[in-house]
Amino acid sequence: MSRDLAELGHHVVGIDASRTLVTAAVEAAPAIPALVADAAALPISSGSCDVVVAYLSLQDVDDMPRAVGEIARVLEPGGHLCMAIVHPINSAGYFASDEPEATFEIKGSYFDATRYDDRIERSGLTMTFSGVHRPLASYFAALEAAGFAIESLREVRVDEASAAEASHHRRWLRVPMFLDLRAKKVR
């Protein structure tokens, strides 16, 4: 994403908590600075950014409300936060099977914050994604407390081409996978 934004003319600084990922980012795009940092303590001057992009990261941050507060701190007045997270309904449950009409089940409470791990295999590679399930209200409370007003919100499901490509993806036509939103710093 950093390379795409830089190609569009944006001045970009990448931030990640993982030294390995920051090293890989710098090797892939040496002209784009990337820093190892905690999202809840950004090494960026107050009011120095016009846009912050939090792409599939806030569900992985332990202190999400503090991270959202830091985003507000580094944004200039009227600046924007563009964020994408795993949709909270997605992280609250799972499909009972890979069948296209499989039942989506939530065990426990959607309203409780819980840690989760998702193991995904693709092209012979197994990846584990760890995150924190939080209900929508947790994200919206953090945005409100930090002085954001939501301008746009999208619940993203799998696209038709992916669903046509693999039948087990068809189940994701019924349940959102991601939540995208744009918010403006209003105070």
Q: Convert the pLDDT of each residue in 93-123 to its tens digit.
A: 999 999 999 999 999 999 999 999 988 888 8
Is the pLDDT reported for residue 27 higher than 90? yes
Neighbours of 90 (CB within 10 A): 22
Tell me what pLDDT residue 30 has.
95
Tell me which CATH homologous superfamily contains domain 38-185: Vaccinia Virus protein VP39 (3.40.50.150)
- Smallest Cα–Cα separation from 138: which of 126, 146, 130? 146
Alpha-carbon distance 166 to 121, whole Å? 14
Residue that is written with structure tokens 């931030």 in the block: 15
- Smallest Cα–Cα separation from 185: which of 21, 62, 47? 47
72-94 mean pLDDT: 97
153-170 mean pLDDT: 90
Neighbours of 100 (CB within 10 A): 16
126-150 mean pLDDT: 96
Q: Going along 19-147, which residue ranges are E strands?
A: 34-36, 49-55, 75-86, 94-95, 104-105, 114-122, 125-133
Tell me what pLDDT residue 122 has.
85
Is the pLDDT reported for residue 132 higher than 90? yes
Tell me what pLDDT residue 168 has.
83
> For the chain, which residues make up each domain, given as ranges?
38-185
Lowest mean pLDDT among 25-29, 62-66, 113-117, 119-123: 119-123
Burial class (CB in 10 A: 0-12, 13-18, 19+), 95: middle
Tell me what pLDDT residue 120 has.
87
> Given the DSSP bridges, would you call strands 125-133 and 114-122 parallel, antiparallel or unpaired?
antiparallel
Tell me what pLDDT residue 166 has.
85
Tell me what pLDDT residue 79 has.
98
Q: In the predicted model, what is the mean pLDDT of the chain?
A: 95
Tell me what pLDDT residue 163 has.
87
3-27 mean pLDDT: 94
